[in-house]
Amino acid sequence: MNYRKLCTTLVVMIISFSATTVLSQNVILPNAYAHNDYWHRRPLLDALDNGFTYVEADVYLKNGKLIVTHILPYFKNKRTLEELYLKPLLQYVNNNATNAANADSQLTLMIDVKSNAEKTYKVLSLLLQKYKTILSGYQNGELIMRNVSVVITGHKPYNLLTGEENRLAFLDEDLTQAGQDSTTNIYRVASCKYSSLVKWKGKGRISDSDIQRLEYFVLQAHKNGRKVRLWGSPDKTKVWSELLKCNVDLINTDKINRLRAFLTSEMSIVAKKS
């Protein structure tokens, strides 16, 4: 069996895990990643209601507060990381009693740091302590998985995190460098820009060279236990299908309703065949 056929088989296995719950309103979608989640009418909640397990928020440090925004907040802004995400996540976990042992039900909060990495992380680290009962972490040399994992992308405080024995955050690895850093228990996801690896924009047939290049880097990331994401990918079902065939774990989108419909449709197809 060649690698592409193996990837296709794995995709079927991943999607089929919840085929029996396709008709459920609360279906869990382990491949669904809400990019710029805070742009939606109800940040976090819209994504959770659609079964997404990964949500992303851009964060700036301003006047000691972590503000959720895409650009530098020059004006007073009350949209803080704690109010939009951490407090609601704590309530969500308490209300739903999510089983941390079930990897498919775990949630990941991706924090895209836009301000200085070290200064921002120092404030973030203190804030995360308030929510440690629900957060995965690295404690005394042991990886502890809980209901929610925090992964930092954007400006990443690599030196600070690697120097800590106890922490409640992980990093997003550069997919194009996957496998080159042997540091354990610091990376949970490996990402890069879609166009860095794939030139195909969803028209016609994807080239063999695009497939081979993507499959190579996905394999490197998976060898080290990272989930793979390509940001900036075209929001087209044809592209999503090819990414899944190449064993990309996370489909990055701003269109959460459309992606939910696509993934649940795929589940229905698998359920009918099984």
Q: How many helices (H) and strands (E) does the chain have?
A: 10, 12
* Dist. CA 268–CA 265, nearest whole Å: 5
Q: Would you state the pLDDT for residue 70?
A: 79
Residue 260 lies in a domain: no
Quote the radius of gyration of the chain (alpha carbons, Å): 18
**Going by C-beta distance under 8 Å and a sequence separation of 6 or more, which residues neighbour residue 187?**
170, 171, 172, 173, 181, 224, 226
Q: How far is residue 182 from each of residues 118, 224, 225, measured CA to CA in Å?
A: 22, 9, 12
Q: What is the 3-state secondary structure (H, E, C) of 236-257?
A: CHHHHHHHHHCCCCEEEECCHH
Residue 22 lies in a domain: no
Q: Would you state the pLDDT for residue 185?
A: 82
Coil, helix or strand for 273? helix
Q: Would you state the pLDDT for residue 270?
A: 39
Q: Which residue is listed with tokens 């690896």?
A: 197
* Dist. CA 202–CA 214, nearest whole Å: 15
* Dist. CA 100–CA 73, nearest whole Å: 35
Residue 265 lies in a domain: no
Q: Which residue is listed with tokens 């690698």?
A: 3
Q: How far is residue 263 from each of residues 113, 247, 250, measured CA to CA in Å?
A: 29, 14, 11
Residue 274 lies in a domain: no
- Structural domain for 203, as ranges: 28-239+248-255
Q: Would you state the pLDDT for residue 100?
A: 53
Instruction: Please check whether residue 229 is in contact with residue 248, taking contact to mean a CB–CB distance below 8 angstroms.
Output: yes
Residue 261 lies in a domain: no
**Going by C-beta distance under 8 Å and a sequence separation of 6 or more, which residues neighbour residue 90?**
131, 133, 134
**Domain count of the chain?**
1
CATH number of the domain that residue 141 is part of:
3.20.20.190
* Dist. CA 153–CA 191, nearest whole Å: 9
Coil, helix or strand for 193? strand
Residue 72 lies in a domain: yes
Q: What is the pTM of this model?
A: 0.87
Residue 230 lies in a domain: yes
pLDDT tens-place values along the chain, 274 residues long: 555 555 554 444 444 444 333 333 568 999 999 999 998 999 999 999 999 999 999 999 998 999 998 777 665 577 999 999 999 999 999 988 655 546 656 899 999 999 999 999 999 999 999 999 999 999 888 999 999 999 999 999 999 999 898 999 999 999 999 878 877 789 999 999 999 999 999 999 999 999 999 999 999 999 999 999 999 999 999 999 999 999 999 999 999 999 999 999 876 443 344 4
Q: Which residue is listed with tokens 């028209």?
A: 203
* Dist. CA 270–CA 10, nearest whole Å: 12
Residue 11 lies in a domain: no
